[in-house]
Amino acid sequence: MEDVTTQQKDDNIWKVALALVCGSILGYGFFYSKNTTSDLAFLVGYNLPATLLIWGVFYAAVARKRGAKIAGFSFLAIFISMIASGLIGYSQQRQEAKQALTEIKSQYSELIESSTDAQGFPKRIEKPINTTPKSSGEFGEMERFMNNSWIKWQHRGTIISLNLKQ
């Protein structure tokens, strides 16, 4: 009776370990992945070496004498988790890109509208440009760069409008 209970606990260890490994991979994709593509062929090729490495460590530590079915299943689970992690990272990067582009377009529209008067002549821009980006990561830095560039352009436009009034 004791042997059956020990064997059931042994059979559950690899399942728990595999769930932890796959959950960690998905957590990485959610919090840290900076993947910028959703092409399945690219994700398969890009993630295959890392999957083999992670699976090799998992197999050596947990799944080694458990049979080919468990080894194959664990490889597929880890591989699918790696691809899903890349897709999660891509979807988050896409959202950041949309947010950054929307903010850049709105700042540009405000700048253009406030830089000309009713007759179409340049005028002094009174409203300061907010340089705090709404997005984060690489796209937040792009947004910050564009806002800082517009501040420089804003100051040049002020000089031009002052020269036109003389």
Could you write out the DSSP letters of every residue in 34-53? ------HHHHHHHHHHHHHH
Q: What is the pLDDT of residue 165?
A: 43
Q: What is the pLDDT of residue 155?
A: 55
* Whether residue 91 sits in one domain with residue 30: yes
Question: Once rounded to an integer, what is the mean pLDDT over residues 65-83?
Answer: 92
Question: Once rounded to an integer, what is the mean pLDDT over residues 99-122?
Answer: 74
Give the burial string for 14-36 (b: 16+ CB within 10 Å, else e): beeebeebbeebbeebeeebebe
Q: What is the pLDDT of residue 153?
A: 57
Least confident range of 4-18, 83-97, 101-115, 142-156: 142-156
* Whether residue 28 sits in one domain with residue 87: yes
* Whether residue 91 sits in one domain with residue 14: yes
* Whether residue 152 sits in one domain with residue 91: no
Residue 107: band (very low, low, confident or very high) from pLDDT cuts 50, 70, 90 = confident
With a CB cutoff of 8 Å and minimum separation 6, the contacts of 158 are 124, 125
* Whether residue 87 sits in one domain with residue 8: yes
Q: Which of 147, 145, 140 is nearest to 100 (CA)?
A: 140
Which residue do the tokens 């059931």 mark?
A: 8
* Whether residue 86 sits in one domain with residue 22: yes
Q: Decide if 39 contacts 90 (C-beta within 8 A).
A: no
Give yes or no for residue 140 having a pLDDT over 60: yes
122 beta partners = 116
* Whether residue 83 sits in one domain with residue 41: yes
Q: What is the pLDDT of residue 24?
A: 94
* Whether residue 77 sits in one domain with residue 45: yes
Q: Which of 62, 95, 128 is the last residue of a domain?
A: 95
Q: Around Cβ 100, how many Cβ atoms within 10 Å?
A: 23
* Whether residue 142 sits in one domain with residue 82: no
Give yes or no for residue 162 having a pLDDT over 50: no
* Whether residue 12 sits in one domain with residue 71: yes
Q: Which of 36, 68, 95 is the last residue of a domain?
A: 95
Question: Quick one: DSSP state of residue 1?
Answer: -
Task: Give the range of the structural domain holding residue 108, as residue numbers without chain letter.
Answer: 98-165
Collapsing DSSP to helix, strand or coil, 120 comes out as coil
pLDDT averaged over every residue in the chain: 78
If one counts the domains in the chain, the total is: 2
Question: Once rounded to an integer, what is the mean pLDDT over residues 126-149?
Answer: 70
